[in-house]
């Protein structure tokens, strides 16, 4: 269970929450789903900025609910839907199939990254 001690933000009809813990992508997703949500997934600038607020609060890069699909370089939401909003860092994504997960930098931009690294867990409900 995520202990949430005040790390909650509302944006639109979503609630974002972080337990401040870092985990690999699979574990982060599992803990969010175990709490009844999923990994934070920005669908627009407002949501991206709300997630960024938590990233800045902890000063840690965080995984987003976005993964590379079957096609190299083509990213999708973890529910399989195509991305309708992106905020890639300059020259990203550049992993070409080796970096299948997406992290948010502390400036709000995105980078494709290996899924085994430990990143901040931010869930949305």
Domains of the chain: 7-101+109-124 (3.10.100.10)
**Cβ partners under 8 Å of residue 70, min gap 6:** none
| The token pair that represents 112 in the structure block | 């494709």
pTM score of the predicted model: 0.92
Predicted confidence pLDDT, tens digits, the chain (125 residues) = 555 555 788 899 999 999 899 999 999 999 999 999 999 999 999 999 999 999 999 999 999 999 999 888 899 999 999 999 999 999 999 998 899 999 999 999 999 999 999 999 999 99
Asked if 113 and 99 touch (Cβ cutoff 8 Å), the reply is yes
Rounded Cα distance between 100 and 75, Å, is 8
């Amino acid at each position: 269970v995520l202990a949430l001690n005040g790390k909650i933000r509302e944006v639109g009809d979503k609630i974002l929450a972080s337990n401040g813990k870092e985990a690999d992508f699979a574990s982060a997703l599992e803990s969010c789903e175990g709490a009844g949500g999923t990994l934070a997934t920005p669908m627009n600038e407002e949501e991206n900025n709300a997630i960024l607020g938590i990233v800045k609060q902890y000063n840690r890069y965080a995984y987003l609910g976005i993964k590379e699909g079957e096609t190299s370089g083509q990213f999708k939401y973890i529910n399989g839907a195509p991305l309708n909003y992106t905020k890639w860092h300059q020259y990203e994504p550049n992993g070409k199939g080796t970096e299948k997960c997406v992290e948010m930098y502390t400036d709000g931009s995105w980078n494709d990254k290996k899924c085994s690294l430990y990143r901040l867990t931010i869930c949305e409900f």
